[in-house]
Every structure is written in C-alpha cells, then in structure tokens.
Amino acid sequence: MRLSVLDLLPVRSDQTTSDALAATVGLAQTADALGYTRFWVAEHHNMPAVAATSPPVVIAYLAAQTHQLRLGSGGVMLPNHAPLAVAEQFALLEAAAPGRIDLGIGRAPGSDPVTSMALRGAAGRDDTDIENFPQYLDDVAALMSTSGVHVALRGRNLMSQNYVLKATPAAASEPRLWLLGSSLYSAHLAAAKGLPYVFAHHFSGQGTEEALAVYRGEFKPSDLLAEPTTFMTVNASVAPTRAEAEELMLPNLHMMAWLRTGQPLRALDLVEDARGIELTYQQQAIVDSGVARAIIGSPTEAADQVRELAQHFGVDEVMVNPVASAYRGVDPATAPARERTLELLAKELF
C-alpha cells in the first residue's frame, strides 16, 4: 500500500496566509519523513478557506524543504493558463528536483465566473475554449519533451523554416503528466491519450467506480504509459478516538455544505466554533454524505477503511486529503491534527 497526500492549503479562522503556508510546509515535511509517496497541491482562486492559488509556486517552495517526496499539482486548471506557461513552469521544477515532479492537469476553472474573468483577462480564453482542452493537453506534453515542438513557419519572400519551441533549453527529464477529473469526460480522454488518471473521489464521491471502469476498459497504451495507472483521493481525519476525528472534520464538512448550497464562504472554523451550528436539511445531508465517503475514525478503523477502499476500487495507492481543523489555542503556523492524521495512518499501514 502506497499512501500520498493532497493539500489545499486550508486557511483556518485563526490563520493568515503565511500561517497556512507554514502549516503546509510542516505537513509536507511530516509526509516526507514518514515515507509517503507524493504530495500534491490544488489550484483554487478567491476562496476564503483555501490558499492554494498557484501550485508551481507552492511546489517550488516545498521542494526546497523536503527530500524524497514526489511533489505535484492536484491539479493545474489548464483553461486558466497558456499551455506554454504551464510547460515552462513544470519543466523548470523538474530541472530543480529531477524525478520528483508530477504535473496533474484538470479542466475545471477552480473559481467562480468573476474570478475566472479576472484571471484570464477580458481578452483571454473563455469557457467556449474548453473544446480545445485535449489539444492544450497535447501541447503541454510536447513542449515539456526534450525535443520540443517543431513549428513550420512560412511567410512572403521566405522559405519554410522549422522553428523549435521548447519549455526549457536542455531538459534531461520530464515531469510525470497526470489527467485529473470528476466526470466521465476525463476518464474517456485519459484512456484515449494513454495517460495516468485520477478521479476526484474526495470532492465528488459520485461515479468513481464507473469512471475508473471506463478508463481501464478504454485505455490505449502510449509512449508515456504502457498500462492504465490510477489511484484514489479521499478526505481523511484520524485521531485516537472516532469522536475526536469526527469533531476535527466537522469544519471542513460545513464548508462543503455551504459551498454546495450557495452560501457565503469564510475561513475554516476552529473546532469549538463549529459545535452547535444549525444546518438545513440539505446541508446536513451533504455533511452526512461527506462522513460516509471519508476516511474517519481511530487509527485501526481508519486503516481498515483505507484497505477496503483500495480493494474495492482496485488501486495500490491512496491519496489522503487531511482535512482536520484545530482547537483554539493551537499555534496558527501549525496543523497538528492534520499531521497526526498522516502519522496515525502511516503507523498502521506502513
């Protein structure tokens, strides 16, 4: 069993962005010391509880402070960026930390429409450009390759020229490219292009089994990959008792309930502030669903849940998103409950 980590750089109500980033560094160093396989950071914009706006910046920062973890994006939202810019960023990361960089790419905007417009620019790409996503994906892969992309240039009074466009001048290795998704679209595309694939089970929880079956059934070998490769993502909160694990996870569950019912978002509550909050019937159903599909409980319970999940979906790697909040009085620059989740799982599963 391989274990990995997904991190959204959560921002608690007692934290600044600097505190949240410091806590993520501590989490990554804990994962590194315990022998976790990879540590991925997400891309979200203009969300009060999420500081993960720029995966390549965070990855570079973590690479300088860890030793063996594979570091990656879970993921870069490609519609927000020019393919060359993404290729340049990750080619440079790979040069700085050879053999340790994963480039996970997603199709969702990771933000609301207003933020998307501000991010892409009024004259930039819009949602209609999503049709070009498969081509953009190919462009990123080609630009990061050691040979680059050959562009035929023709002009008046000029003979045809073969112009070479590369993400970096002399690549010795390339980042590992992954396609991420929460729908069947990404499963079909990853299979057709022969890419490794990850379904966002931690976020959606619906259609995971069907998406993985589609991916495995339709997979076509490529120069990048000979056989289908995938793993699971899942939210997790592990503590000495199940009651404490549930209490630590509740602020994150509330945040998801507010997000999905269109309520104003805020920084992640501390545990004490989440107690006794009244929810609507719909919000409570979202909370209950989140508990049902999460890894949550005592170390033994949680380890059994991980094994069952891996067996059910046929994977040999599970990526946990440690979503535990904190109690009042904890050092804002730390996330002890998230670190403890990793420690307790590793003790049971490694």
pLDDT in tens, 111-145: 677 877 787 765 455 555 677 899 999 999 999 99
Q: How confident is the model at residue 225 (pLDDT cuts 50, 70, 90)?
A: very high
As a whole number of angstroms, the distance between CA 111 and CA 46 comes to 7
The pLDDT of residue 202 is above 90: no
Distance CA 14, CA 140 (A): 39
Quickly state the pLDDT bin for 201 (edges 50, 70, 90).
confident
Token look-up 């600044």 returns 16
Cis previous bond, 75, omega within 30 = yes
pLDDT confidence of residue 131: 78
Q: What is the pTM of this model?
A: 0.94
Q: Which tens digit of pLDDT belongs to each residue from 50-70?
A: 999 999 999 999 999 999 999
**Rounded Cα gap, residues 300 and 303, in angstroms:** 5
| Per-residue confidence (pLDDT) for residue 157, from 0 to 100 | 59
| Residue 183 reports pLDDT greater than 90 | no
Q: What is the mean pLDDT of residues 143-160?
A: 75
The residue ranges of every structural domain in the chain are 9-35+232-350, 37-181
- Fold observed for domain 37-181: TIM Barrel (3.20.20)
Q: How far apart are alpha carbons 274 and 337 in whole angstroms?
A: 16
Mean local confidence (pLDDT), 242-268: 95
Contact 49, 268 (CB under 8 A): yes
Cα–Cα distance measured from residue 249 to residue 278, given in angstroms and rounded to the nearest whole number: 16
The reported pLDDT for the residue numbered 163 is 84
pLDDT the model gives residue 159 = 56
* pLDDT score of 24 more than 80: yes
